[in-house]
Amino acid sequence: MAEVLVVVEASQGAPKKVTLEMLTLARTLGDVSAVVLGGSAAALADKLGEFGATKIYAAEGEDLDGYLVAGKATVLAALIQRVSPAAVLIASSQEGKEIAGRVAVKLDNGLLTDVVALDADGIGTQVVFAGSTIVKSKVSKGLPIVTVRPNSLTPTPAPATPSVEQVEVALTDKDKLAKVVERKVEAKGARPELAEASIVVSGGRGVGSADNFKLVEELADLLGGAVGASRAAVDSGFYPHQFQVGQTGKTVSPQLYVALGISGAIQHRAGMQTSKTIIAVNKDSEAPIFELADFGVVGDLFKVVPQAAEEIRKRK
């Protein structure tokens, strides 16, 4: 079977959920090889194997960790030229997209970004215009290099024992033009990361103030979920931008999405419409969010949420 490369995205010594999703997708296309660019491949090997990687290309060393992404793109481009894979999957993250763009230019190869599916003929599916249009595209020059949108599919394990091959890291002076001078890991709160959480509780303009967002946080904490926000809530200064859900924010696909005081604009839906179960609380029975919700409560969130929280506490 053809070899498919999956570029690993990891955080704090573990592959991110999007990596497991890409491994799952790659298994439908061929033999899965994970590519670790920087960090320690050994720490990730078990988990990559659990999701079907039969081989790991380990490009490690200070040079990859000490500079920005240019070096990673150089190493990946050289690997692609050497192994001629059937496809290359890279996460649609800020870093992933930058690596993918640089690699495509280096190899004079086409690139598809933000795909949610890729078939064996190299045809990728992209969801555009806030989810209203589905586009099928194919790279017309070179092999399919694609960035995969997080939360596009459910990762499933398929245990394998991967072999590890060290990859030579030889960076050029051009790759070293921007150096990392400091890394600060933000203090991780008790809440799960928004894009990876299985429960998300989001607040919109209807929450009314930054102070009132404590109500959203309280419900999220009772459910063990992450907190999200609509753009109107973010623009009003109620909650930081990094928690925005939607077209210009994060895409989430949890088991449960709770929308509090959110009208359900198309740009918000774009970031949460694939959630498994959606609960909406809105005082306007005509709010568009109810077209999407599996369960809707027409009511004042300042009455409904404390009552719901009380019930959850009783059952804990």
Total residues contacting ligand FAD by CB under 6 A comes to 28
Write the DSSP symbol of residue 284.
-
C-alpha–C-alpha distance, residues 285 and 287, integer Å: 6
204 binds ligand FAD (CB under 6 A): yes
Q: What residues between 224 and 263 interact with ligand FAD by CB under 6 A? A: 230-233, 244-249, 261-263
Query: Torsion over CA of 270, 274, 276 and 278, rounded to 10 degrees?
Result: 20
265 binds ligand FAD (CB under 6 A): yes
CA distances from 38 to 45, 63, 171, 180 (A): 14, 8, 13, 13
C-alpha–C-alpha distance, residues 176 and 209, integer Å: 45
CB of 1 to ligand FAD, least distance (A): 39
CB of 186 to ligand FAD, least distance (A): 22
Q: Give the residue, chosen from 109, 282, 293, 296, that forms a contact with ligand FAD under the rule CB under 6 A.
A: 282
Q: Environment class of residue 13 by beta-carbon count within 10 Å: exposed (0-12), middle (13-18) or buried (19+)?
A: exposed
268 binds ligand FAD (CB under 6 A): yes
Piece of 91-99, 107-115, 214-222, 300-308 that binds ligand FAD (CB under 6 A): 300-308
DSSP H or E run through 298: strand 295-298
Q: List the beta bridge partners of residue 111.
A: none
CB of 255 to ligand FAD, least distance (A): 20
**Binding stretches for ligand FAD (CB under 6 A):** 204-206, 230-233, 244-249, 261-263, 265, 267-268, 271, 281-284, 287, 300-302
